Chain A
């Protein structure tokens, strides 16, 4: 399990432009005034910035003609300063408005992401492990923010700057402008091609980086194992190989990356060269003045920097769009559970039975993509009382529980809750009646009290303590640095698996639901404690439904009715005693656990 290496997320995401626009349109609409002003300011900044060379040109021309006075120069300098001040203020404006927008967009998308995930069923969550969702929420959102912030600004920069600069240049000399602009389309084409290739190589680097990360994580998580097998050298060799490949891929990427900026600079230089050559001729033949020439060079120089960033901006925007598409696909995914609901039919407002009965009729389930069904043709009535479920690992016990609490969709007319087909009920209505504790329950970073009162935040501290007491974890919580106010996921505080399980039990007890499912949730406790906790749970759930999934026959001995699952089917059922007498599997487990192994032992000694 530790050796599992997650495949990198599929890189080839088809970018459907309309879907992307739909994704950001609400935010754009909400911030349309901000965007409008932002772009207006941006355009104004460039307009102002480009007038500065005109003052310079006037100065140089007048100096060349000998008409300049120092007052005139002071006036022109003043104009430059004023213009620069105005441009500065506007530049502040657009940065705050446009880059601010990208942050708003990022925040909104992140909110939508978590909202969406919280609505999803387990089918979705199985397919999208937390790590992947986190990658979307951090890397992809980051890329989107960059694209809409700096990327968009840089693109607008290039667009506005080129248009305005070209207009100014054309004003001086249209033919010279044409000459100077000659290399620009070539630059655009090359930088587009290069950034596409860069993007491709960068993806490979990313994929390799996740391999490297995953490998390191696996090593560190299973360090005990690696050391006990003395596999350090092997691991080290493998890591080195991964790292070498990563470095090589990076260098390959740098080859493209290294071309982008110099190509842009080269284009700028070629343009300047053309201006120097043809412009110089024009000056010599008196078509334009020296002042014109100098201003022209200045405008062209102004173009150079944004042009140099064009490839960078294009790359950033492309990456952002790819990321946006990935987020879009995630947000577009439907919950199979929600899809299975028959919403058009009138739904009962609430489940009236105080302790709802559960009926399963020919109940089957397959995990998406699985060849064989996880559960097949289960018929089962669960009413008040104690039901035990046992069976080998992988026989479908947990799957059954997780279907009961509506984590996965159920086929029509196969699962009835209080007499209603569950597909006609809001899943929340069902969950309100069921508590579930699994083998591993998540803890939250809040206090111990908050963790226990998850289902009932309004519970008093006495109620919380009572629940903890029943789950036999009260004393351990009291022994923590700040008792019930101790934050559970704080650094340094390490809870054992048993403590976590008991806190989860306390949480479920406090929830006080009509149906409680304990799915192997006592596995990390020793025999005595698990018996004690189970007795408390049983007492608390008296008169209501308690479902116990366990391998532990001592616990199952207390249960009214036990099911044995095998390959997703009910293999046997009956009381503990009946099964001891009837089921070979059950009897064998019992014999092993209860130490009545004389027969088996005699057999073993033969070897």
Chain B
């Protein structure tokens, strides 16, 4: 029941999909020696289990049902058989235990490997992918779907293997005991198989209906629980309750339907085993009367038969688990097969001596949604030259494409058409990682690790404490650090002190500073920052990035007016370019924005 918000729309895999099986086997191949061991254990367990009725039969035939021989010898023989029996029981116990552990080990190793592979794969994909796939569903792939597959390993594949082995073992013993009776039993095999497949077909439909309704119920619940305040405010509690009640009732109904189905299936399989028993008694008893079968053989036969139906029911029961695991496997593999559109060049340029000259040449960018309809062009034919060492501000109304431009620069996406040159080289000639080290990006909502300020700032750059401190002092950020209770050693994030939005921004900036990038981008970094932090940040940018290329994205005009040049974007186009005074003089969009932005006092 580990589903943690697992609300996947109901889907079940096809057991007959050989491609899928091949792929599953190929990922298990790394564990081949463990698998071999577990197969050997299976043999041991099956043999130990199957020999037990045989021993009983021997006891009855040789020592109980015979007349005449002296009681002491019979007792002696009985004792020997009991000892063998004890041995078999011990082997079954030891083997069973070892097998469960080995199997879990295989399952967990394979799943761990798959999970890490999938995680790394996701990390390597470009942002366009994340734009089209909600995080929640990807998390499900990483956790629940992988877990689902593990359930198949730990629970199913092995037991299935054991059950099949046991089934064939029993059949073998039955044939060895009495061919005619065994043939009679064999008839039940296809009958049971047909019934199982028939029911699991119907059950699959039922499961699908239940899961999709559960998804609806949980989605509604999630929505309601996250919006209690609003619902209370507008007095919609009773209405929500009513609607939820209906959805919930439908879910109940679908469940009850499936329960009735299984209610019919389970007794039917039981009945079949009783039918087989009756047949054996009737037919086998007749043979015994005619002296063609010993009494011991008949009883052994009856005992094996009971064992015969047990694995068959198990297989039927696990069929649905296999189906759901296959569906999970399919989803995981589908995800693994998606390749990122941002491709690392075979021989990437190193970024050691980047001066920071950027040139956009006819750049067009469109998000591709899951279907063609979701395609929306965000940037139209942008050509723009940013000189090395220049401070360029980019502004414009919401949705003008400002942030997309930045995303292109660090290769979160690649342009749909046109190219971007850094120091004369197409960005596609750099590895994305290199770019992101050489282009420092400060975003609106920075990531704070639950750790000390120092650890948050230096991250993996390997700078010493004093080097970090020098950098901070040079940019005036030491004033901010001095305000914190334990200076650089103050713990922040979860479990530490809560920084304000502005203070987080300062930490994020210091972090970028440590990486010594050639280009700095502030993407709406000051939009939700108090004025004190904003001033500190501006001052730090001036001190730390003098002579380097700085791009400032902001919709607040006060932030942009001192830039060397200002690029005004509107609806994905570069509308105006120039410095503050020039743009005001043009009486265009900038002037308009500026008028709206400045005081509307009456």
B224-244, CB < 8 A from A: 224-237, 239-241, 244
Mark contacts of A100-111 with chain B using CB atoms, 8 A cut-off: 1 yes-contact digit, 0 otherwise: 100110110011
* Chain A residues whose C-beta falls within 8 Å of the C-beta of B135 in the assembled complex: 217, 220-221, 223
A251-306, CB < 8 A from B: 251, 253-255, 257-259, 261-263, 265-266, 269-270, 272-273, 276-277, 280-281, 283-285, 290, 293-294, 297-298, 301, 305
How far is it, in angstroms, between the C-alpha of A270 and the C-alpha of B240 when the chains are bound?
A: 58
Is B441's CB under 8 angstroms from A284's CB? no
Mark contacts of B298-334 with chain A using CB atoms, 8 A cut-off: 1 yes-contact digit, 0 otherwise: 1100110010001000000000000000000000000
How far is it, in angstroms, between the C-alpha of A176 and the C-alpha of B298 when the chains are bound?
A: 23
> Does B96 lie at the interface of the complex (its beta carbon under 8 Å from any beta carbon of A)?
yes
- Contact with B447, one of A76, A225, A436 (Cβ below 8 angstroms): A225
- Contact with A114, one of B221, B534, B561 (Cβ below 8 angstroms): B221
Mark contacts of B186-222 with chain A using CB atoms, 8 A cut-off: 1 yes-contact digit, 0 otherwise: 0000000000000000000000000000000111111
- Contact with B398, one of A64, A442, A454, A526 (Cβ below 8 angstroms): A526
Shortest CB-to-CB span from B391 to chain A, Å, is 14
> Does B591 lie at the interface of the complex (its beta carbon under 8 Å from any beta carbon of A)?
no
* Chain A residues whose C-beta falls within 8 Å of the C-beta of B597 in the assembled complex: 527, 554, 593, 595
Is A107's CB under 8 angstroms from B251's CB? yes
Is A118's CB under 8 angstroms from B240's CB? yes
> Does B179 lie at the interface of the complex (its beta carbon under 8 Å from any beta carbon of A)?
no
Is A209's CB under 8 angstroms from B593's CB? no
* Chain A residues whose C-beta falls within 8 Å of the C-beta of B275 in the assembled complex: 81, 84
> Does B349 lie at the interface of the complex (its beta carbon under 8 Å from any beta carbon of A)?
no
Is A243's CB under 8 angstroms from B235's CB? no
Shortest CB-to-CB span from A424 to chain B, Å, is 19
* Chain B residues whose C-beta falls within 8 Å of the C-beta of A2 in the assembled complex: 445, 447
Is B139's CB under 8 angstroms from A3's CB? no
How far is it, in angstroms, between the C-alpha of A55 and the C-alpha of B11 when the chains are bound?
A: 46
> Does B277 lie at the interface of the complex (its beta carbon under 8 Å from any beta carbon of A)?
yes
- Contact with B82, one of A64, A83, A142, A277 (Cβ below 8 angstroms): A277
How far is it, in angstroms, between the C-alpha of A298 and the C-alpha of B443 when the chains are bound?
A: 73
Is A604's CB under 8 angstroms from B224's CB? no
> Does B530 lie at the interface of the complex (its beta carbon under 8 Å from any beta carbon of A)?
yes
Interface residue SS majority, chain A: helix
How far is it, in angstroms, between the C-alpha of A496 and the C-alpha of B94 when the chains are bound?
A: 61
* Chain B residues whose C-beta falls within 8 Å of the C-beta of A354 in the assembled complex: none
- With contacts A84-B270, A91-B266, A135-B4 taken as known, whether A393 is within 8 angstroms of B501 at the C-beta atoms is yes
> Does B20 lie at the interface of the complex (its beta carbon under 8 Å from any beta carbon of A)?
no
* Chain B residues whose C-beta falls within 8 Å of the C-beta of A70 in the assembled complex: 282, 285-286, 289
How far is it, in angstroms, between the C-alpha of A457 and the C-alpha of B64 when the chains are bound?
A: 84
Shortest CB-to-CB span from B31 to chain A, Å, is 12
> Does B359 lie at the interface of the complex (its beta carbon under 8 Å from any beta carbon of A)?
no
- With contacts A3-B493, A247-B108, A445-B219 taken as known, whether A431 is within 8 angstroms of B233 at the C-beta atoms is yes
Is B278's CB under 8 angstroms from A231's CB? no
How far is it, in angstroms, between the C-alpha of A331 and the C-alpha of B154 when the chains are bound?
A: 36
* Chain A residues whose C-beta falls within 8 Å of the C-beta of B295 in the assembled complex: 60, 63-64, 290
* Chain B residues whose C-beta falls within 8 Å of the C-beta of A243 in the assembled complex: 112, 115-116
> Does B539 lie at the interface of the complex (its beta carbon under 8 Å from any beta carbon of A)?
yes
Which of B217, B279, B447, B543 has the most chain A CB atoms inside 10 A of its CB? Answer: B447
> Does A578 lie at the interface of the complex (its beta carbon under 8 Å from any beta carbon of B)?
no
How far is it, in angstroms, between the C-alpha of A122 and the C-alpha of B596 when the chains are bound?
A: 38
> Does B556 lie at the interface of the complex (its beta carbon under 8 Å from any beta carbon of A)?
yes
Shortest CB-to-CB span from B9 to chain A, Å, is 11
Which of the candidate stretches B55-63, B417-425, B463-471, B571-579 sits at the interface with the other chain?
B55-63
- Contact with B228, one of A83, A95, A117, A492 (Cβ below 8 angstroms): A117
* Chain A residues whose C-beta falls within 8 Å of the C-beta of B484 in the assembled complex: none
- With contacts A250-B108, A284-B74 taken as known, whether A301 is within 8 angstroms of B306 at the C-beta atoms is yes
Shortest CB-to-CB span from B446 to chain A, Å, is 7
How far is it, in angstroms, between the C-alpha of A219 and the C-alpha of B449 when the chains are bound?
A: 12
* Chain B residues whose C-beta falls within 8 Å of the C-beta of A91 in the assembled complex: 263, 266-267, 270
* Chain B residues whose C-beta falls within 8 Å of the C-beta of A244 in the assembled complex: 112
Closest to B129 in A: A223
How far is it, in angstroms, between the C-alpha of A257 and the C-alpha of B459 when the chains are bound?
A: 42
A to B contact number (C-beta, < 8 Å):
471
Is B274's CB under 8 angstroms from A595's CB? no
Shortest CB-to-CB span from A57 to chain B, Å, is 10
Is A236's CB under 8 angstroms from B116's CB? yes
A136-192, CB < 8 A from B: 137-139, 142-143, 146
> Does B75 lie at the interface of the complex (its beta carbon under 8 Å from any beta carbon of A)?
yes
Chain A contact patch, size range: 35 or more
Which of A222, A224, A236, A594 has the most chain B CB atoms inside 10 A of its CB? Answer: A224
> Does B27 lie at the interface of the complex (its beta carbon under 8 Å from any beta carbon of A)?
no
Is B130's CB under 8 angstroms from A223's CB? yes
Closest to A246 in B: B112
* Chain B residues whose C-beta falls within 8 Å of the C-beta of A96 in the assembled complex: 256, 259-260, 263
* Chain A residues whose C-beta falls within 8 Å of the C-beta of B124 in the assembled complex: 232
* Chain B residues whose C-beta falls within 8 Å of the C-beta of A255 in the assembled complex: 101
> Does A119 lie at the interface of the complex (its beta carbon under 8 Å from any beta carbon of B)?
yes
Is B270's CB under 8 angstroms from A224's CB? no
> Does B281 lie at the interface of the complex (its beta carbon under 8 Å from any beta carbon of A)?
yes
- With contacts A114-B224, A223-B130 taken as known, whether A228 is within 8 angstroms of B230 at the C-beta atoms is no
Is A280's CB under 8 angstroms from B240's CB? no
How far is it, in angstroms, between the C-alpha of A273 and the C-alpha of B90 when the chains are bound?
A: 11
How far is it, in angstroms, between the C-alpha of A122 and the C-alpha of B237 when the chains are bound?
A: 15
* Chain A residues whose C-beta falls within 8 Å of the C-beta of B108 in the assembled complex: 247-248, 250-251
Shortest CB-to-CB span from B203 to chain A, Å, is 14
Shortest CB-to-CB span from A106 to chain B, Å, is 8
> Does A558 lie at the interface of the complex (its beta carbon under 8 Å from any beta carbon of B)?
yes
Is A76's CB under 8 angstroms from B219's CB? no
* Chain B residues whose C-beta falls within 8 Å of the C-beta of A95 in the assembled complex: 259, 262-263, 266-267
Shortest CB-to-CB span from B392 to chain A, Å, is 19
Is A213's CB under 8 angstroms from B4's CB? yes
Which of the candidate stretches A125-133, A342-350, A376-384, A538-546 sits at the interface with the other chain?
A125-133
> Does A600 lie at the interface of the complex (its beta carbon under 8 Å from any beta carbon of B)?
yes
- Contact with B1, one of A88, A143, A280, A492 (Cβ below 8 angstroms): A143
> Does B339 lie at the interface of the complex (its beta carbon under 8 Å from any beta carbon of A)?
no
Please name the 4 residue pairs, one residue from A and one from B, whose CB atoms are nearest each other, closest first. A258-B100, A84-B274, A269-B89, A254-B104
A-B contacts, 28 listed (Cβ < 8 Å) = A68-B285, A70-B286, A87-B274, A93-B263, A95-B262, A99-B263, A107-B249, A114-B225, A134-B218, A135-B5, A138-B218, A139-B3, A209-B143, A212-B142, A227-B410, A228-B443, A239-B116, A240-B116, A247-B108, A247-B111, A248-B108, A251-B105, A258-B100, A262-B100, A431-B234, A442-B223, A444-B227, A607-B542
